[in-house]
Structure 1
Amino acid sequence: MAKRWNLMILVLYLSLMVVLSTHCPNGQVQLPGKGKNCIDVDECAEDIKRCGKNATCHNTFGSFYCQCDVGFISTSQSLNFSAADNEVCKDINECLQDKDICGPNAKCHNAIPHYSCSCLNGFYSTNGSKSFRGSKDITCQDIDECQNGNVCGQNATCDNTPGSYQCVCNSGFRLKSGGFNFSGSQEQCEDICSIDKTICGNGTCHRGADGHFCACHTGSTNYGHKGNRCTALNCDAFKVLNHLQEKQDLMVQLEKGCLNLTGSKDPKELGGKDILERLLSLIDELLSGGAFNDNRKVSTFLNLVENVLKLAAAFIEPPGTTRSSTHTELELLVKKGADLPKGAVTLSSKQAKLDLQLETAAGDSSYYPGFTTVYLLGYANLEDFTKGFFGRMKPEANHRFELNSNVVTVSVSNRNTSHLEVPVKLTLYHLKQTNEFDHTCVFWDASEEGGSWSTQGCQVVESKAEYTVCSCNHLSSFAVLMALYDVEHTFELQLITWLGLSLSLICLFICILTFSLIQSLKSPRTTIHLHLCINLFIAFIIFLAGISRTENRVGCAVVAGLLHFFFLAAFCWMCLEGIQLFRMVVLVFNTNFRTLYMLAGGYGVPAVIVAISALVNAKGYGTERYCWLDLGFIWSFFGPVCVIITVNIFFFLITVWKLAEKFTSLNPDLDNLHKIKVFTITAVAQLTLLGTMWIFGCFQFNEGTIVTSYLFTLCGSFQGVMLFVMHCLLSKQVRDEYGRILSRSSAPWSKSYSNISNSHTSKAHGSKSTQDTGESRI
């Protein structure tokens, strides 16, 4: 009965607790006697794996959350999660996340839940354990295998390396396989001389404290490198040469010294510097004595120089040497070592500059092993002995070839230079600084007709007044050739020019006084004559004073611009004369050109042409020799001149045709027609004179002959004289005025000046009136 009562009490209590707990949130309960306060339920204390494997439950007031254990991460990579999220904790691979977690020289091993580190082969950990975690205090240090006894055996030295070691054969020893280093005990180092009986070539192999060395036999050398093979000396360059017999004693001495050279430090007779000194001395003696009277001797000489330099350079210590003498300038570059040199190199002298790749100079280095050499040798006056040999190169008509640089020889230790994959660049400085003539890169071809200049394989990269840059795919002796337009009789032409221009200036001055001071002659036509003479007068003065003053580039350009303007202005005034005659005869105008219009046409047109030309190409004014237009710019003058001449010829043809019709009419005004005929004839003659001069000038600037040179000089210099004859001496009206002036000047001094003046004035007005009336009737 008591048990049943206790059970009922328990059920009632529990029912009461359930009723009371419904008043608290989830995760909390309310106990009797606690009032209405709720207490937390610890879900993590229950015997249930709420968070799953590799995770830990963390209780909170009224709830709980889960966290993955150390070394694990949830599938969503969240730090906290709930049991309802179905998250799973998986292992973190620390080795992948941080590749340097173990530090240098160590390897990472992933584990669950952590990781471990172990040192690589050849290293040990500083704490002595094979496995450790990454830490600043624990590192992997190299194991020095060379401290563990004689690991390399005899005749070799142990060389410790990070994590390992290698054995290096001592000097004078190597492996049978040909190598000089190894690891382990698979091979042993042996004496080089016993392994390879031919290692010294034409010499005997010996082993010394510094390794093996080769004692070369007589006539052989290893060019100063004791460890290199001995090869036969190339002393053929010193053999007695048939074409240089006058120097055979020196050649024999040099050949003897060459054959006695060995690979030792103290050659018996001649060393590299001795050979160079004697070679330069020989060159000076040959060039100063004029030994080269034919091209075959030149070819022999250049071949000798190349061979001697190649031989001597092998005995010069790096980086080389620079030497000069009376007739030579030598730049020699030397590179020594087993590894072939690479990269660009430049050699410079007063005569030339050489740019090439060291790979080109070295080649396979089989002929001269162990060294690479480049040399640039310039000759002071060798061009004087080679200027007449141009082989198949033929100059154009009335041109001649002239060498405009010193001859230079370029060679390298590489023997295969007949066709280079990478061309060399050679800058040759001009003897005459000019870009007025075409320059060509040439080399001396000994195989062509015994020796001559040739352009094969060479081309011009750039040409300035001071230098020309050549690109060649082979090596030899080089020079720069320029084609000169050959003008003979220079003194005679200059004499004619100065005499003719002096007379022309005097005659033009008389014409200017005549047409400007004598009132009876003034008319539109004489106004045109006046300005034509003024322009030619100024142009001739500028020509005489400044045509050759090229030392100042700006001043020379100004002179060229003024000549351009005044010569164009002269042609424009001639064009106005043709138009004026056309108006008189064909259009029968009763009015003449206004002076303002004539000034605009005579000076405005040439001013516009010169201004445009200067803006387009200011450098076209002035050349290296004369203050005139550059040949590439000359048509800025000839173009307008040709247009003016064409227009004038058109107007003159129509004028002559209309004039012929008037002569055949029934009632011609013979007096005025005769006057117009005279005007037309003189105008045509004037145009022919000036036009002919510049036609000859055009040929002169291109390809002239001595005939065109004389015609151009005569027509140009005596132009003022011809204008004076045509417009003054052949004009009856002008002659009459000259007669009156002369008669007045010779009249008695007692004659009243006022009477003379009045008489002259009345006559002048009458003559001018008659002239104007006659022209008006036309």
Structure 2
Amino acid sequence: MEVMDSVTFRDLYIDECQGPSPADCGPHTNCANVPGSYYCTCIVGYKPSSGKAKFTHASENSCHDIDECQGPSPADCGPHANCASVPGSYYCTCVVGYEPSSGKSKFTHASENSCQDINECNKTPDICGPKTMCINTNGSYRCECLAGYVPSNGNTTLCKVPSIISSVQFVAIKETFRNFSLQGKRSSENSNFSSFFNSTFGFLLSTFGDGNATLSLENATLPFNSVLNSTSPWDSGDKWEVGSAVTVLLQSVELAALATALRSPERTKQNMMTESLAIQTRLVTGNCSQHSEVFTLSAHEETMDVRCDTITGTATQAGVGAAAFISYSTLDSIISARRLSEGNLPAGGKLEKSHLNSRVVSGAIGDGRPINLSIPANFTLRHKQAKKEEEEARCIYWKVVAENGSWSEDGCTTVYTNSTHTTCSCDLLSSFAILMAPTAVTESYPLTIITYVGLTLSLLCLFLAILTFRLCRSIRNVSTSLHLQLCLCLFLADLLFLTAVTRPGSQVRPDSPLLLACAVIAGLLHYLFLACFSWMFLEGLHLFLTVRNLQVVNYTSANRFKKRFMYPFGYGFPALVVAISAAVNPGGYGTSTHCWLSLDRGFRWSFMGPVCAIILINITFFVLTLWILRNRLSSLNADVSTLRDHRLVTFKAIAQLFILGCSWILGLLQVGPAAAVMAYLFTIFNSLQGAFIFLVHCLLNRQVTEEYRRWIRGFRTSSTKSQMSDLSMSAVPTTSTKME
């Protein structure tokens, strides 16, 4: 018993973990002593390789580090944080661009800390560099150039003003100078122009010398003022020299103005005025808030209206665009119409009577290159002298061809004019002016008298023809129905032409209701005259089918078929043409001078095209009809009077086609020396169309004249009976007489 107690007592005091020969549990372990024995376990942050939680020697097991960041239950560090595993433990840190809210750089759970965005723009104000703005983003930031500046070599921390030093226009000016210099003879004979070119390029080189320097509009353009004030280069040069010099001057001033606008981003609008020129520039930065936004630039008393997206759309750098508008005080006397004009301006005597009647203005956007605009820009120019009634205001622009320039009308339309101003709509940007020329077609007094007398007579004849076709039952058939519809359309067209305002006048503004009414009148005239030709086409078709079917015993079904479709075609086809024309070019109806189709963009062919097609088709019908009458029916034992009647009807239809159709063709021939003769023929034939129809289809129609005779005899008989009745009544004594 004592021995047993002694052994137990001794065992209780033996500690295998701390004895002279402690147990070998291995690294990263704990040794735990128990009565009579011991065991090993892995410390916190480690796990046994064999999976046994307890062991007695390192040879049985080993402890490996636990990866708390990647384990089956990873540590919850929270958003915008990284988990870092260390031997036996882990810690959390905020990712780049975020900082801990508590200030502790390391933590072990999201509940201890949270990571919030670092505002680098506030923390380091100059982080992006000069001429830039810092924009904070989640976890980072970005740099953008200030409005009016662009990145330098793609680096947004280095921003500069846009440069147009490599402009195609600038290269073209250098080429012009080179070509001028190659003219050795001219250059040696006229030193004034050599001096002009050298000084002009000196001005440009000084302007573009430092691509990043901020320019002053006055400093950039003031040197050109001395060139404009000097008279020696302009007076001593020939047409080629003056044209080249003017081209270089205009393009140089435009480039200098645009460069000034682009290099002064702090000033979105700049103005400058001297005794020789006035300039206004506009810098547009960013996207246009509204696609329909229009900028108006003004210089002197002239204005230019251009859309915002037009300016930014042509910019060399996205979102940055510039526009310049220049008005020259004295340049119109240098480039007069008689000295520098292109072949399509008024020729001969009209050119001698033409003169520039406004300042020369220039409009430029982008980098100064000539550009065609998808949406035209409007220029309003003030007349230097009041416009006379017999004058026509024409919008012209400076057209550059082969380093030389001249006036041209292509691409510009006069949309409004009065005695003091003219508004031009141009689909390109260049230099512009107003040319006063004699009216293209003088509305002479004889033509006016012919028009009114002829239309009045035609209206009367058409009215009688309509009554005849409507009331004369003996001649009612498909042909008279077609004649009736033709007369109705022509009567309404002539009446509208005679009574409507066909000349709105020069005092009417572009947005005036009178111009809208004029466009409606033009559309109605377009429809009614096309309807006349539609019914003429149906007349030719009916005549051809009738002659072709003379051999058929019963062809009433064919007549019913024609009646069923002739009204939809007669009135539907012109409506379709007018609808398509109005949809394609709604501005083609009505101008500031006439309520008819505009001559721009070939819009008159929306009328002349169908007319020419119908004339050609009807001529084909009539030729075939005559051929059938001559060949096929000549061998038949048909009624000779029937053949004679059809021949007569055919010749009448051909004559009608000639008078109604060819008269409009004469309108296309009013050019050249014979323009006046064609104008008289056109007026006479068109104004007497109604009288001719009444003559052919009524007075020369045997059945109609017989009906007229019956009507006249009936009227005379009725009048005689009325007179006899009056006489008999007067012979009867009154009651009072009898009483007496």
TM-score, normalization: structure 1?
A: 0.49
Structure 1 CA distance for aligned equivalents of residues 428 and 653 of structure 2: 54
* Alignment of 1:528 onto 2:482: yes
Please say if residues 398 and 485 of structure 1, whose CA atoms lie closer than 8 Å, have aligned partners that are also in contact.
no
Q: CA offset at residue 726 of structure 1?
A: 1.6
Structure 2 CA distance for aligned equivalents of residues 538 and 275 of structure 1: 63
Structure 1 unaligned spans of 5+: 18-30, 32-38, 94-109, 116-131, 136-161, 163-240, 244-271, 335-341, 362-372, 472-476, 756-778
| RMSD between superposed Cα atoms in Å | 7.0
Partner of 1:582: 544
Query: C-alpha deviations, 1:190-224, integer Å up to 9, x for none?
Result: xxxxxxxxxxxxxxxxxxxxxxxxxxxxxxxxxxx
Query: C-alpha deviations, 1:47-72, integer Å up to 9, x for none?
Result: 64655335545689999674557xx8
Partner of 2:148: none
Partner of 1:52: 26
Larger Cα Rg: Structure 1 or Structure 2? 1
Partner of 2:303: 351
Q: Which structure 2 residues correspond to residues 468-483 of structure 1 after superposition, within 5 A?
A: 468=426, 470=428, 478-479=431-432
Structure 2 CA distance for aligned equivalents of residues 732 and 330 of structure 1: 78
Instruction: Decide whether aligned partners of structure 1 residues 285 and 741 sit closer, same or farther in structure 2, where only a CA change above 3 A counts.
Output: farther
Structure 1 CA distance for aligned equivalents of residues 411 and 34 of structure 2: 92
Structure 2 CA distance for aligned equivalents of residues 352 and 438 of structure 1: 17
* Alignment of 1:623 onto 2:574: no
Q: Which structure 2 residues correspond to residues 391-540 of structure 1 after superposition, within 5 A?
A: 393-395=342-344, 407-408=360-361, 429-431=378-380, 442=398, 448=404, 452-453=406-407, 467-468=425-426, 470=428, 478-479=431-432, 487-491=440-444, 493-540=447-494
Higher-RCO chain (CA-CA 8 Å, sequence separation at least 6): 2
Please say if residues 304 and 380 of structure 2, whose CA atoms lie closer than 8 Å, have aligned partners that are also in contact.
no
Partner of 2:327: 378
Partner of 1:563: 525
Q: Which structure 2 residues correspond to residues 105-184 of structure 1 after superposition, within 5 A?
A: none
Structure 2 CA distance for aligned equivalents of residues 647 and 359 of structure 1: 53
Q: What amino acid is aligned across from residue 641 of structure 2 in structure 1? A: D
Q: What amino acid is aligned across from residue 524 of structure 1 in structure 2? A: V
* Alignment of 1:86 onto 2:62: yes
Please say if residues 469 and 480 of structure 2, whose CA atoms lie closer than 8 Å, have aligned partners that are also in contact.
yes
Structure 2 CA distance for aligned equivalents of residues 440 and 60 of structure 1: 113
Structure 1 CA distance for aligned equivalents of residues 572 and 16 of structure 2: 107
Partner of 1:713: 683
Instruction: Decide whether aligned partners of structure 1 residues 614 and 585 sit closer, same or farther in structure 2, where only a CA change above 3 A counts.
Output: closer
How many residues are matched? 523
Partner of 1:604: 568
Structure 2 CA distance for aligned equivalents of residues 523 and 294 of structure 1: 74
* SS of residue matched to 2:63: coil
Instruction: Decide whether aligned partners of structure 1 residues 279 and 91 sit closer, same or farther in structure 2, where only a CA change above 3 A counts.
Output: closer
Structure 2 CA distance for aligned equivalents of residues 480 and 85 of structure 1: 101
Partner of 1:688: 658
Partner of 1:20: none
Please say which of residues 741-750 and 513-522 is displaced more in the overlay.
741-750
Partner of 1:728: 698
Query: C-alpha deviations, 1:544-600, integer Å up to 9, x for none?
Result: 326556954664554444334333332233233334433443312555588875554
Please say if residues 53 and 89 of structure 1, whose CA atoms lie closer than 8 Å, have aligned partners that are also in contact.
no
Structure 2 CA distance for aligned equivalents of residues 59 and 753 of structure 1: 160
Q: CA offset at residue 518 of structure 1?
A: 3.2
* SS of residue matched to 1:488: coil
Please say if residues 589 and 596 of structure 2, whose CA atoms lie closer than 8 Å, have aligned partners that are also in contact.
yes
* SS of residue matched to 2:547: helix
Q: CA offset at residue 612 of structure 1?
A: 4.0
Instruction: Decide whether aligned partners of structure 1 residues 572 and 478 sit closer, same or farther in structure 2, where only a CA change above 3 A counts.
Output: closer
Please say if residues 351 and 378 of structure 1, whose CA atoms lie closer than 8 Å, have aligned partners that are also in contact.
no
* SS of residue matched to 2:721: coil
* SS of residue matched to 2:337: coil
Q: CA offset at residue 536 of structure 1?
A: 0.8
Q: CA offset at residue 686 of structure 1?
A: 0.8
Please say if residues 292 and 385 of structure 1, whose CA atoms lie closer than 8 Å, have aligned partners that are also in contact.
no
Structure 1 CA distance for aligned equivalents of residues 721 and 522 of structure 2: 52
2:643 to 657, 668, 673: 673
Q: CA offset at residue 682 of structure 1?
A: 0.7
Q: What amino acid is aligned across from residue 351 of structure 1 in structure 2? A: T
Instruction: Decide whether aligned partners of structure 1 residues 623 and 637 sit closer, same or farther in structure 2, where only a CA change above 3 A counts.
Output: closer
Q: What amino acid is aligned across from residue 572 of structure 2 in structure 1? A: V
Please say which of residues 707-716 and 512-521 is displaced more in the overlay.
707-716
Q: CA offset at residue 378 of structure 1?
A: 0.9
2:623 to 653, 659, 672: 653
Structure 2 CA distance for aligned equivalents of residues 605 and 703 of structure 1: 40
Please say if residues 56 and 66 of structure 1, whose CA atoms lie closer than 8 Å, have aligned partners that are also in contact.
yes
Q: CA offset at residue 725 of structure 1?
A: 2.1
Structure 2 CA distance for aligned equivalents of residues 752 and 374 of structure 1: 86
Q: CA offset at residue 396 of structure 1?
A: 8.6
Please say if residues 468 and 480 of structure 1, whose CA atoms lie closer than 8 Å, have aligned partners that are also in contact.
no
Structure 2 CA distance for aligned equivalents of residues 547 and 623 of structure 1: 12
TM-score, normalization: structure 2?
A: 0.51
Query: C-alpha deviations, 1:668-726, integer Å up to 9, x for none?
Result: 63433333222221111112222213333456699995554444333322211221222
Structure 2 CA distance for aligned equivalents of residues 645 and 590 of structure 1: 30
